[in-house]
Amino acid sequence: MGSLRIRVVEDAHELGRAGADLVAEVIAAAPTAAIVVATGRTPMGLYAELAARRRSGVLETKAISAVQLDEYLGLEPDDRRSLFGWMHRSFLEPLGVRDDRVIRLPLDGDLEGACAAFDRGLEARGALDLAILGLGRNGHLGFNEPPSDAGSSTRRVELSSSTIEANARYYDGGRPPATAVTLGMRQLLSARAIVLVVSGSSKRTIVRRALEGPVGPAVPASFLQQAGGDVTVIVDRAAWADGRAS
Ligand code: F6R
């Protein structure tokens, strides 16, 4: 089994810096690292910090591969509300990751077959080097909604009403689609390293349940307690209310 480290930082700004340090370490050790890229608000400071380091010439990111974590179904390919659009604006473009180094989820056709082929392709490349993840208020990782077990593969999912509500604020005031594709728990949990970033008081209860509660499908993020690789949770004080770990 791997290790689980909890790092408590002062605020969202420090979270971005600490997260970028970790990602930069992975890239320094493996310049062609395959990295899973979450969207959502929490990792945005981390991505901005990586972009700043790249601009100042201390970080080279052009050889990495970026792996899409999740995507809504039913959008036009160029819809800027897509998670790919968000990933492009916040990560791929600022870090200079070319299209041929982006591993995108299948979104149409025979999805079951396409997702199985996607997972086989990913496994053939070897373990993912790093997964950058955020935590859903319901304990999801990517769009692995509860209940999701540790062995679940890349697949089509129905989003819970809590996720649809939480993501409406990122959806130009509209209602995001209710179906999506997510990288499976199996793919995430077998990454060599995982960094989970958690910020804000709305995540207080769920982060404790995920890291200190019973491990099981009701809180998919709880499986991080048993992940094979090195898991680092970077959590700010607002989310880690009493600051017991450091
Ligand atoms: C986004 C994703 C989601 C978010 C999670 C937290 O690609 O996979 O699991 O990471 O919902 O979102 P924020 O950071 O906005 O609270």
DSSP β-ladder status, 65-68 and 70-72: unpaired
Instruction: State whether the beta carbon of 181 lies less than 6 angstroms from ligand 1.
Output: no
Instruction: State whether the beta carbon of 82 lies less than 6 angstroms from ligand 1.
Output: no
Band of the pLDDT at 243, cuts 50, 70, 90? very low
Q: Kindly report whether the global pTM for this prediction surpasses the value 0.95.
A: yes
Task: Give the distance (Å) from ligand 1 centre to CA of residue 98.
Answer: 24
pLDDT tens-digit series, residues 87-144:
999 999 999 999 999 999 999 999 999 999 999 999 999 999 999 999 999 999 999 9
Q: For residues 158 and 181, what is the distance between their CA atoms, to the nearest angstrom?
A: 9
Band of the pLDDT at 242, cuts 50, 70, 90? low
